[in-house]
Structure 1
Amino acid sequence: MEEVSDDAYMKAVEKFKDPDWREIFINMSTIRKRAWIQSNQMDDSSSSSADSDFNDFSDFLMLNFLSDYNEKFIEKIPQRTSSLCGEDFEYIKDTREIKVEEAVAIFLIIVGQNVGMRLIADRFQHSLETIDRHFHLTLKAICKLGQDIIRPTQSSLPSHIVNSSKYYPRVDAQIPPRENMGNCIGAIDGTHVSACVLTDKQVSYRGRKNVVTQNVLCACNFEIFFTFVSVGWEGTANDSRVFIDAITQPKYKFPLPKEGEYYVLDSGFPCTKGFLPPYRGERYHLQEYNSGRNRPRGMKELFNYRHSSLRNVIERCFGVLKARFPILKMMPPYKLSRQPLIVIACCTLHNFIHQRTQYEHMFREWEEKELEGEDNLEEANTSVSRCEVNLSDESAAAMARCRDRIAQAMWTTYNNIN
């Protein structure tokens, strides 16, 4: 604005004194404003001085447009560049002691590096009470954000599943088109996260490894996004019990599969409509098939091998999550009510980071890894629309028949190719 001459500035001030003119001009679109500047004369005089004044006034208006744009969209205060900005998505606000950016930085350092509150207080020069209070406020805000981004997406299946005859058996296998591994929408599994509880409550939180943990049930899709998270269970809770509670209790809002779709899960979960476990008593884990001599010897082993390759995505999700947030491996002595919220917040940040950095190095590093959960290994060796959950024997038998048809079609195609 400093480049505008005093004459042009005063001319603009005089022009804007007229309220009718101001209202008309402000309501014009940017294109109409520019056209008006180019087609209208400021004075009736056609002298060269009038043309010069008009050009100066035009420059003034154009600089005014640029200044308004810069103030509204580039240097806005407070700056909100996320698509979730606005009054309807105002999860956290500045306080008298700490601004939003500083509060988020404090939270990320604590969960991302597992740094103690006292070190954070010294680093940011705030009291312990201020750090703890803003950590809790940020924790609740991120959990609230999780209600929007931890949910099923409408994205299509990855090409390596859709274009593979492993998961889409050929037509000559005589399998109904909606009964194949391509109708799998994700994987479900449980994992153990570190917990810190009082001594008199540790018995129910100690698993077979004598470690105090909490049991977390998660579902994910094949793009390594969490679509469901259930927290708050003791480490001794059985995965099947946590799973049944999650899909039958409406308060959890579990994203049940549509007709013909299903999740893959391990043999520790029940076989029922929409949830497909592997065959029990057969080889299952990927490392059991890695050697060239350990090829599948029947349709059940072939099904288990391909089932395991699909379910492996949930293990990669857990691997990225725990590698990025070490607080999940060694939980500080927070209140027991706060610890499950930390797990939800970490899953929320996992999805948020993956949405905005599709090729982030940690996701690339874990993308091709073939992992198996430690909890599932022992179990196997020993052995977005809502609908009603059917856990009856008839439902289990129907899903078992569907599994047999898929396995038979896979085995037929496998033999034809080999």
Structure 2
Amino acid sequence: MFLLVVTRFDVDTSDDSTSDESDDDFVEFLISNVIYDYHHKFFNKGKVLTSSLSGREFVAEREDLSDSRDVLVEEKVATFLFIIEHNVRHRVASNRFQHSTETISCNFKEVLRAVCRLGKELIKQESIELPERIKNNSKYYPWFKNCIGAIDDTHISAWVPAEKQISCRGRKTTITQNVMCACDFNMMFTYVYFEWEGSAHDSKVFLDAISNPNAGFPWPPRGSFYLVDSGYPCTRGLLPPYRGEIYHAQESRGQGRQPRSPEELFNYRRSSLRMTIERCFGGVEK
């Protein structure tokens, strides 16, 4: 398949006597990408399964979950997933799994604590290298070569005491908490900061995260940065859009609506790359 693709390009370009130099450069770019991808996929293979622990051993070492007298670990996890997936009360889970609400509550908290501990292993910056698909895209590279990810806030539904419900009402009047997240361009979350009410502004959540010594905000290396929207301050390590210019990628689409200035072009490309964090949220309503 690979040889056929390259041969096809060779025939097309040799027969086209009207091709100009830019066409030749474009074809060479395509061919080099095909060769690189093929080599990277089939020849440049590194050992993947390098851990000395199996998946079960890894989880058991960190989570300290165990069977109880009446409930197996698998049922505890199933109960936890049932509650968070269907957003039901413990009374509903009690009826479904035929245990007392006290047992359901204890099992839920036990798994929740285990998940939070495991989160420290999973939610972290593994690499600051840009993925090859971005390095090979002239739309982004080399302009964003020092970008390590994107930051944004999302609103998550929350249950709070009656006296706190006013401050937790978000822009759409629902009871939420404002959660700030960072992700890399492999769509992996690298940082999560929560416990702020839904009415809190994004910049306030960010300033608290960087000023709280216990928050562990992952500052990028000097010279690197995160992509953020206009709700964040323009400071070291953050790259917001040009103010006063269109900066949402959706606003630059449509017939006859191309960027009209270098600032608009920058905002368009920055926005289309920052949309990675939106895809990570998976369409969570803001």
What TM-score comes out, normalization by structure 2 length? 0.77
**For the residues of structure 1 that align with 2:97 and 2:129, how far apart are their CA atoms?**
44
Counterpart residue number, 1:214: 177
Q: What code does the residue aligned with 1:149 have?
A: L
Q: What code does the residue aligned with 1:82 have?
A: R
Counterpart residue number, 1:72: none
How much does 1:318 deviate?
1.0
Instruction: Work out whether 1:228 is the aligned partner of 2:202.
Output: no
**81 and 181 in structure 1: CA distance in 2 versus 1, 3 angstrom threshold:** closer
How much does 1:112 deviate?
1.6
Counterpart residue number, 1:204: 167
> In structure 2, which of residues 271, 281, 284 is the aligned counterpart of residue 318 of structure 1?
281
* Identity %, equivalent residues: 52
Q: What code does the residue aligned with 1:233 have?
A: W
- Is contact 1:189–1:219 with CA below 8 Å preserved after alignment? yes
**For the residues of structure 2 that align with 1:114 and 1:138, how far apart are their CA atoms?**
16
Counterpart residue number, 2:94: 121
Q: CA RMSD in A?
A: 1.8
> In structure 1, which of residues 169, 173, 189 is the aligned counterpart of residue 152 of structure 2?
189
- Is contact 2:63–2:117 with CA below 8 Å preserved after alignment? no
**For the residues of structure 2 that align with 1:263 and 1:83, how far apart are their CA atoms?**
35
**For the residues of structure 2 that align with 1:317 and 1:90, how far apart are their CA atoms?**
25
Larger RCO: 1 or 2 (CA < 8 Å, sep 6+): 1
**Structure 1 counterpart SS, 2:58:** coil
**Structure 1 counterpart SS, 2:56:** coil
Counterpart residue number, 2:34: none
Question: Deviation digits for residues 191-248 of structure 1, max 9, x if unmatched?
Answer: 1111222332222112332222111110011111111101100111111011011122
**For the residues of structure 2 that align with 1:119 and 1:228, how far apart are their CA atoms?**
33
**Structure 2 counterpart SS, 1:229:** strand
Counterpart residue number, 1:273: 236
Question: Deviation digits for residues 104-125 of structure 1, max 9, x if unmatched?
Answer: 1111111122233222212211
Question: Deviation digits for residues 35-62 of structure 1, max 9, x if unmatched?
Answer: xxxxxxxxxxxxxxxxxxxxxxxxxxxx
Counterpart residue number, 1:100: 73
Write the mapping of 1:30-41 to structure 2, written as runs, cut at 5 A: none
Counterpart residue number, 1:110: 83
- Is contact 1:157–1:222 with CA below 8 Å preserved after alignment? yes
How much does 1:298 deviate?
0.5
**313 and 83 in structure 1: CA distance in 2 versus 1, 3 angstrom threshold:** farther
**83 and 183 in structure 1: CA distance in 2 versus 1, 3 angstrom threshold:** farther
**For the residues of structure 1 that align with 2:267 and 2:201, how far apart are their CA atoms?**
22
Instruction: Work out whether 1:147 is the aligned partner of 2:120.
Output: yes
How much does 1:264 deviate?
0.2
**Structure 1 counterpart SS, 2:205:** helix
**For the residues of structure 1 that align with 2:74 and 2:200, how far apart are their CA atoms?**
38
Question: Deviation digits for residues 238-261 of structure 1, max 9, x if unmatched?
Answer: 110110111222211111101221
**For the residues of structure 2 that align with 1:90 and 1:232, how far apart are their CA atoms?**
23
**Structure 2 counterpart SS, 1:138:** helix
Counterpart residue number, 2:209: 246
**197 and 283 in structure 1: CA distance in 2 versus 1, 3 angstrom threshold:** same
**85 and 211 in structure 1: CA distance in 2 versus 1, 3 angstrom threshold:** closer
Q: What code does the residue aligned with 1:186 have?
A: G
Counterpart residue number, 2:265: 302
**For the residues of structure 2 that align with 1:109 and 1:205, how far apart are their CA atoms?**
25
**For the residues of structure 1 that align with 2:56 and 2:128, how far apart are their CA atoms?**
21
**Structure 1 counterpart SS, 2:156:** strand
**Structure 2 counterpart SS, 1:256:** coil
**Structure 1 counterpart SS, 2:165:** helix
- Is contact 1:91–1:142 with CA below 8 Å preserved after alignment? no
